Amino acid sequence: MAYHSRTNDTRGHNENVMANKEVSEWKDRTSRGKEIFVTNTVKKIHPVVDKIVCRLLDVDRIQYVRVSQADLYASSEITIKGRTKTPVSTPGHKSAIGVHLILDYPYNTIQFYEITSAKRGYGGKMVKAVLSSIPEGWQALVAMDYSDGFWDRMIEKYDNISII
Partner 1 sequence: MDKDEIDVINYLDWHAEVNDNNIKPFSIEVLKKAFPEIDEFSLKAIESEWRKARMRMINADFSTFEE
Would you tell me which residues interact with partner 1 (CB under 8 A)? 68-71, 90-92, 102, 104, 113-124, 143-144, 146-150, 153, 164
* Residue 150 CB, nearest approach to partner 1 (Å): 4
H or E stretch including 9? Answer: helix 2-31
Q: Closest distance between partner 1 and the C-beta of residue 31, in Å?
A: 23
Burial class (CB in 10 A: 0-12, 13-18, 19+), 33: exposed
Nearer Cβ to partner 1 (26/122): 122
Half-sphere exposure of 68 (CA within 13 A, CB side): 10
* Closer residue to partner 1, CB minimum distance, 3 or 146: 146
Does residue 61 come out as left (phi exceeding 0), alpha (psi in the -120 to 50 range) or beta? alpha
**Of 48, 97, 47, 42, nearest to 66 (Cα)?**
42
Name which of 63 and 116 has its Cβ closer to partner 1: 116
Question: CB of 128: closest distance to partner 1 in angstroms?
Answer: 10
* Beta carbon nearer to partner 1, 136 or 148: 148
Least Å distance, CB 69 to partner 1, is 7
As beta bridge partners, residue 78 has 87
